[in-house]
Amino acid sequence: MSLPIIPIITAFERSPDGGKGLARDMRVRWALEEVGQAYEVRLVSFAAMKEPAHRVFHPFGQIPTYEEGDLALFESGAIVFHIAERHAGLLPDNANARARAITWMFAALNTVEPPILDLQTTKFLEGDKSWYEQRLPVVQNRIRDRLSQLSDRLGDADWLDGAFSAGDLMMVTVLLRLKASGMLGEYPNLAAYVAQGEARPAYKRAFDAQLAVFTGNPPTV
């Protein structure tokens, strides 16, 4: 009998987020933990990310990447979708519910995340520009528009559409980027939603594994 293939993912050798779980390999780690799939991690430096050996797996020189036998993937959303398709636990069995969960994955990445990333760009790359004070409130209000809409849709439900799914996994990881800004606290149901995601045992295992890399003591996965 052949041995099962253990996927290999790439992650930052030294994460710029200081081990806060914001790097995109966190999404992949969490998904793998949710479905109970063992995995290995290959750490990549910022310099190595731009080298041809890594760009074979990620043409844009970023992380994460995912290798499983002769399959190589990049983009965290595509990787999580592959994991959810390959293993039970992240997508509903019902076809319509499954389609809705996938829709929420796209919504997290294409609708909610862009203005949040714009806020990070504005703060870190434009803070010394003459237009910063005028631009910042515009970016923040774009985020609040999305959060308000998402808050209204979530209401008092635990998850976006019935049981926890890959759509929630992606949305929680996107919203986590706002914790330091304090904006998430303006929407108590969204703050509770994110906290509920962080409380999942699979999330905690993934977070601890990513943090251990930053602290210099990677666990055996």
With a cut of 80, say whether residue 129 has pLDDT above it.
Answer: no
Q: Show Cβ contacts of residue 25 under 8 Å, excluding neighbours closer than 6 positions.
A: 9, 10, 11, 12, 41, 63, 64, 76, 210
pLDDT at 123: 73
Mean pLDDT is lowest, of 61-65, 74-78, 117-121, for 117-121
Q: Which residue type sits at 54?
A: H
* Whole-structure pTM value: 0.93
Query: For residue 53, is it left (φ>0), alpha (ψ between -120 and 50) or beta?
Result: alpha
Residue predicted with more confidence, 130 or 141? 141
CA dist., res. 100 & res. 97, Å (int): 5
With a cut of 50, say whether residue 220 has pLDDT above it.
Answer: no
Average pLDDT value for residue range 12-20: 86
Residue predicted with more confidence, 20 or 10? 10
Per-residue pLDDT of 23-60, as tens digits, reads: 999 999 999 999 999 999 999 999 999 999 999 999 99
pLDDT at 217: 66
- Strands 65-68 and 8-12 turn out to be antiparallel
With a cut of 70, say whether residue 1 has pLDDT above it.
Answer: no
Residues 93 and 101: beta-carbon distance below 8 Å = no
Per-residue pLDDT of 53-72, as tens digits, reads: 999 999 999 999 999 999 99
Residue predicted with more confidence, 93 or 20? 93
Average pLDDT value for residue range 95-112: 98
Average pLDDT value for residue range 194-204: 98
Nearest residue to 25 via CA among 210, 221, 217, 214: 210
Q: What is the DSSP letter of 198?
A: H
CA distances from 214 to 41, 77, 129, 200, 211 (A): 13, 23, 32, 22, 5
Residue predicted with more confidence, 213 or 126? 213
Question: What value does the mean pLDDT of the chain take?
Answer: 92
With a cut of 90, say whether residue 102 has pLDDT above it.
Answer: yes
Average pLDDT value for residue range 188-216: 95
Per-residue pLDDT of 137-186, as tens digits, reads: 888 999 999 999 999 999 999 999 999 999 999 999 999 999 888 999 99
pLDDT at 218: 52
Nearest residue to 101 via CA among 73, 72, 80, 117: 80
**Other CB atoms within 10 Å distance of the CB of residue 48:** 14
Q: What is the dihedral of CA 21, 25, 29, 34, to 10 degrees?
A: 80
